[in-house]
Amino acid sequence: MYTNLGNSGLLVSKMALGMGFRGQNDPKEATKTIHKAIDNGINFIDCANIYGLLDDRKNAGTSEKILGEAIIGKREQLVITSKVSSLAGTPPNNKGTSRYYILNQIEESLKRLQTDHIDIYLFHGVDDSTHDEEKFRTMEMLIQQGKIRYVGVCNLQAWQVVKSLNAQQSINAAPLITIQNPYSLLNRELEKEMFPMIRELGIGMMGFSPLAVGLLSSGILDSEKFPSTLWGSKRRKQFNEIYKDKVIDVCDTLKTISLELGYTMAQIAQAWVLSKPEVSAIISGADNTEQLDENLISLEVELPEQYIEILNEVSHNLHIPLDNIKY
């Protein structure tokens, strides 16, 4: 169940619990989900300074607060990530990767998480307004201070990851341990440049949105099952617009295989992502214990090669960035 994150010696569960809670507005249910994940061997929890219930920026920071309360007495058995760069705090220095903003946000995250360190601190996206030397010197300082253990990045292209590694090497800073990007049957863009780079450099890959923001979950387009949340209202129109042609072919194939093998569409879709050797771990965006139970079974699924090839073929060259992130 545990694997090295890239070439590092850090052992993480092959599934990380994502703290986005896009469809959850109950802190108690969120806490139950965290506890159940830990009780089932999940030691990897992915968070960010802006994450909050219902994916509503008005709730930014609540995910870290809930997590901090939930892991009291359990902290040392966990690998916790958080992120910085997205909009938070008081203008004008309330976003990006400047030394000012990073130092401000690390203290806020540590306070909410009720911990003295974050295991992996990631840049949440690209910030061209701050020079690489400034941002990575700041991260290296935080490592030296013991406030973070490792550095990672999110939503970068392969050339940007290499550029970051070169910047770190030029100042003798510890190199990136992980890259976190979306990867699913509907978004295979990473295979072109990112996967070859990962194989060459040994960086750990955390794949988020393995269910294509829920589109690959069975029944998601059923009006009775579609989330009646802020997140759901944002996605319904988008899903209806893209649910055609090859996307329908992928979903139909996924449904057929799931019926043949006795698993759900979500379990097969996540097992396919986990079958890729370049992927160290997937991020499960479970909003409640029922969704978590379903996702955990994905770790037990061993897809026969013939089904992997069928899914490879039907999803070949698909690139649908449902999070509106382009690579």
CB atoms within 10 A of CB 166: 11
Please say whether the dihedral angle defined by the alpha carbons of residues 262, 267, 269 and 274, taken in this order, is positive or negative.
negative
- HEC states along the chain? CEEECCCCCCEEECEEEECCCCCCCCHHHHHHHHHHHHHCCCCEEECCCCCCHHHCHHHCCHHHHHHHHHCCCCHHHCEEEEEECCCCCCCCCCCCCCHHHHHHHHHHHHHHHCCCCEEEEEECCCCCCCCHHHHHHHHHHHHHCCCEEEEEEECCCHHHHHHHHHHHHHCCCCCCCEEEEECECCECHHHCCHHHHHHHHCCEEEEECCCCCCCCCCCCCCCCCCCCCHHHHHHHHHHHHHCCHHHHHHHHHHHHHHHHHCCCHHHHHHHHHHCCCCCCEEEECCCCHHHHHHHHHHHHCCCCHHHHHHHHHHCCCCECCCCCCCC
Q: In the annotation, is 243 catalytic?
A: no
Active-site position among 51, 150, 183, 263: 51
Q: 86, 95 in Cβ contact below 8 A?
A: yes
Active site residues: 51
